[in-house]
Structure 1
Amino acid sequence: MNTIRKVFASALLTLLTTSCTQSPGALTQRNSSSGTASSSTSIANKKSMETNHQNACPEVPQMNAEEVSKRMLDLIGKIKTAEDISAKNLEIATGLKVYVNADNPGKYATGAKITDTWFFNIKVISGSKDGKASRLIFSFDDQTHSGADMTSICKVDFDAYKKRLTEFGFQSEPYYGEHNRLIYWNFSRGKVELQISIRGESDENVKHNCVSMIVIDV
């Protein structure tokens, strides 16, 4: 599960920042210091570049954690076939722009900022013609990589997810590893399979289980 997180956690940020790695101000500073442009030309260029930069690189949208969880649970409740997690349906469900991989239209992603520490990301890999299932990976991602507490994103906790999924008709069971350690929870309904990874909210409230990642196969 950790490998999956490392591979897909920054999918949205990669798509958004590929062409946005240097600010227009920094570029203007470099051009101005070279002595090749007059002061008035530099100012005009700066304004033009700022406009172009804003158009090409919109800010990452922001959502609160409760809305994210509500939209995610509503989406899960509707999933019956792989078509239900198509790029179009994912845009409708999240209200966000979905970014499609230009080299592989079967891969697409979206996500948004929750706080300065936490983002959420969704990545889909469409199934192949040989019968391989489509997979959606949803995750809350700590941008500091410091094991930050989950208080700000755990108002809809694992118990709330489990209750809602049960109402949707999912059957659940925990999956344990070595030394009876809980690895994740399995949920299933027909051909739809979910694995939900959880972790404690914080060092002070470690027994309050929060959702950290959901892997859906359909």
Structure 2
Amino acid sequence: MKHSIVRVPPLALAGLMLVACANPSVPKTPVPASKEVATVNTASPAPYRPSTLAEHPELTPEEIGRRFLALIDSLKSFDELSGGRVQEVMRLPLTRVSEKDEGFLTMTLPGSAWRYSFSYGVNPKYRLLTNAVYEFHNENEQTGDRALEDMGPVCRLDFNAYEAALKGMSFTNEHASYGELGQLLALQYVRNDMRVQIIPRREANTPDTKLNHACVSSISIHPLDP
């Protein structure tokens, strides 16, 4: 079975130790907290700015993570991924930049330089370009293994929580990608015709408990390679 290897900056620790944390476990079938469906925004002349927790206090990093897992579990086939399904399950105030079936949301975390973003795009002509992504960025973080910012503020759902949820959905760990120095770059999980990719990274450089604790910098949904 052929899998795409996604190259990412060498942020993952060589020989990354995947240590469980004491955070609350993710239910097998996560349920979004809100019953209200958000309306997809249309493009406007005003410059885009990230949303804040003051505007959407329910959309914490872990809540969007749970909703993303719920989206994954709702897809019995990859071809069920659509804007309608995204809104039905995730209930996010997405911004649309075109008439295409795509949208995104970026949130800022108060008191930190962390941002977390969800985006999806459906390309009916090129199936391999269809995907959905949930990822984290820090404005102060620079390229280089020693420049990692503490990911603790956005790591209440850590690697082990995401992996346990995927395995509870009957995904199997099919493949791992490594860099030239042996550092772990990404892991692939497969169910039916769908592939979920997780890019892990350590929580921080120090202390050892954070150095050896695996968080998630990105989780994404893709079609299984032919």
TM range (shorter): 0.5 to 0.7
1:34-80: CA deviations, max 9, x gaps?
xxxxxxxxxxxxxxxxxxxxxxx895434222212211111111123
Q: What residue ranges of structure 1 are gaps of 5+ in the alignment?
A: 4-14, 22-56
Please list, as runs of the form range in 1=range in 2, the aligned pairs for 1:78-117 lying within 5 A after superposition.
78-82=74-78, 84-102=80-98, 104-115=99-110, 116-117=112-113
> 1:215 — aligned with what?
220
Q: Secondary structure at the match of 2:211?
A: coil
Larger Rg, first or second structure (1 or 2): 1
CA–CA distance in structure 1, aligned partners of residues 50 and 64 of structure 2: 20
Q: What residue ranges of structure 2 are gaps of 5+ in the alignment?
A: 1-6, 10-41, 143-147
> 1:8 — aligned with what?
none
Cα offset for 1:130?
5.0
**Residues 84, 112 of structure 1: CA spacing in aligned structure 2 closer, same or farther, 3 A cutoff?**
farther
**Residues 167, 99 of structure 1: CA spacing in aligned structure 2 closer, same or farther, 3 A cutoff?**
same
Q: 1:96·1:111 contact (CA, 8 Å) conserved in 2?
A: no
Cα offset for 1:131?
4.4
CA–CA distance in structure 2, aligned partners of residues 137 and 117 of structure 1: 20
> 1:184 — aligned with what?
186
**Residues 99, 180 of structure 1: CA spacing in aligned structure 2 closer, same or farther, 3 A cutoff?**
same
**Residues 84, 69 of structure 1: CA spacing in aligned structure 2 closer, same or farther, 3 A cutoff?**
same
TM-score (norm 1): 0.67
**Residues 81, 18 of structure 1: CA spacing in aligned structure 2 closer, same or farther, 3 A cutoff?**
farther
Q: 1:87·1:98 contact (CA, 8 Å) conserved in 2?
A: no
C-alpha root-mean-square deviation of aligned residues, in Å? 2.8
- Match among 61, 65, 90 for residue 69 of structure 1: 65
Q: 1:82·1:134 contact (CA, 8 Å) conserved in 2?
A: no
Please list, as runs of the form range in 1=range in 2, the aligned pairs for 1:44-59 lying within 5 A after superposition.
none
> 1:123 — aligned with what?
119
Q: 2:51·2:106 contact (CA, 8 Å) conserved in 1?
A: no
Q: Give the counterpart letter for 1:206 in structure 2.
A: L
TM-score (norm 2): 0.65
Higher percent of residues as helix: 1
Larger relative CO (CA 8 A, sep 6+): 1 or 2?
A: 2
For this pair of structures, how many residues does the alignment match? 171
CA–CA distance in structure 1, aligned partners of residues 140 and 96 of structure 2: 26
Q: Identity percentage over the alignment? A: 22
Q: Give the counterpart letter for 1:202 in structure 2.
A: A
